[in-house]
C-alpha cells in the first residue's frame, strides 16, 4: 500500500533550500523516500543550494525508480556552506542496499551532528482496529527553541490513517512537544518533523478525529514526541540542568 506522509517545518522566515523543496514535493506528489544528510544544512546557499537539493532528489529517484517529487530532502549541519552533492550521490548505492525494517537505531545514530547520543523511542498500542506500532527518532542539541529548533525528527507507524487527519495529529503532537522546548533561545533554518503512516497493519482506515482509535493514537503520538523532545533538551550543548515548566 502507498504510505501517507505528513510533515511540519521551521517557522523561521529564513528557511533552507531542503525545507522549501520538501514542502513543495509534499503538495505535488505522494512521497516514497526521505533522504537525509548531516554535516551541511544547505542553508543560506541561494539558487545553488536549491539546485543541490533538487539534484539529490533526482539521484534518489533514478536509483529507486520513482519521481523526484516523491523524494523529501532533509539537511542538518553547518549553515552558509554549499552542499557537496557528489558525496551524497556516491553514498546512495550503499544506503539503498542497507534499507531494512529494523534500521532505526542505525538511522538515529547516522543523523546526529553535535548530539552526544542517538535519540529514539517506540511504542505499541492496541486500537479497536487492531495492534499498531509507532516508532520515532530525532536529532538536535543546540540552537533549540520553540517553533522548532535545530532538530530533525522522523516518526513512522504501521497504522492506516487518512492524510488530512495524519497532518492534524502530527501538528497537535509537535505543538505539545518540539515546539515547547528551548536550550539556548536560538531558532534554526532546517527544522522538520515527518510522520509516515505505512498502512501495513491491515486494519480499516482511521479517518474520524473523534473516534476512540484516533484519540488513542493521538495520545500515544504526543507522548512519544514529548519523550523525544525531552531527550533533545537533556542533550543540550553544555546543559547541566533539565527544567520542566508546568
Decide: 241 and 166 in contact? Cβ < 8 Å: no
Give dist(CA 68, CA 65) in Å, integer: 9
Length of the chain: 246
Task: Name the nearest CA neighbour of 146 among 191, 112, 108.
Answer: 191
Backbone angles phi, psi at 130, to 5 degrees: 140, 175
Grid coordinates given for 69: 517529487
Q: 120-129 b/e with 16+ CB inside 10 Å = b?
A: bbeeebebeb
Decide: 228 and 121 in contact? Cβ < 8 Å: yes
Give dist(CA 57, CA 110) in Å, integer: 19
Give dist(CA 52, CA 54) in Å, integer: 5
Say which DSSP state 103 is in. -
Decide: 202 and 130 in contact? Cβ < 8 Å: yes
Give catalytic status of residue 150 as yes or no. yes
Sole residue written with cell 552558509: 80
Please tell me which residue in 56, 76, 150, 157 is annotated as part of the active site.
Answer: 150
Say which DSSP state 206 is in. B
Q: Which residues are catalytic?
A: 150
Amino acid at each position: 500500500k502507498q504510505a501517507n506522509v505528513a510533515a511540519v517545518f521551521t517557522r523561521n522566515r529564513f528557511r533552507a533550500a531542503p525545507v522549501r523543496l520538501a514542502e513543495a514535493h509534499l503538495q505535488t506528489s505522494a512521497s516514497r523516500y526521505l533522504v537525509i544528510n548531516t554535516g551541511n544544512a544547505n542553508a543560506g546557499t541561494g539558487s545553488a543550494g536549491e539546485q543541490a537539493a533538487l539534484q539529490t532528489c533526482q539521484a534518489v529517484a533514478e536509483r529507486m525508480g520513482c519521481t523526484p517529487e516523491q523524494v523529501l530532502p532533509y539537511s542538518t549541519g553547518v549553515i552558509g556552506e554549499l552542499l557537496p552533492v557528489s558525496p551524497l550521490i556516491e553514498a546512495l548505492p550503499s544506503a539503498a542496499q542497507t534499507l531494512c525494517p529494523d534500521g532505526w537505531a542505525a538511522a538515529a545514530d547516522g543523523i546526529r551532528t553535535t548530539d552526544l547520543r542517538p535519540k529514539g523511542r517506540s511504542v505499541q498500542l492496541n486500537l479497536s482496529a487492531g495492534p499498531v506500532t509507532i516508532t520515532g527518532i530525532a536529532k538536535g542539541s543546540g540552537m533549540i527553541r520553540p517553533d522548532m529548533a535545530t532538530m530533525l525528527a522522523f516518526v513512522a507507524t504501521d497504522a492506516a490513517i487518512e492524510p488530512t487527519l495524519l497532518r492534524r495529529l502530527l501538528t497537535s503532537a509537535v505543538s505539545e512537544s518540539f515546539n515547547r522546548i528551548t536550550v539556548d533561545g536560538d531558532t534554526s533554518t532546517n527544522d522538520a518533523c515527518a510522520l509516515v503512516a505505512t498502512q501495513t497493519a491491515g486494519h480499516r482506515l482511521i479517518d474520524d478525529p473523534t473516534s476512540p482509535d484516533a484519540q488513542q493514537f493521538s495520545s500515544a503520538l504526543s507522548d512519544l514526541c514529548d519523550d523525544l523532545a525531552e531527550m533533545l533538551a537533556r542533550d543540550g550543548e553544555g546543559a547541566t540542568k533539565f527544567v520542566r515548566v508546568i
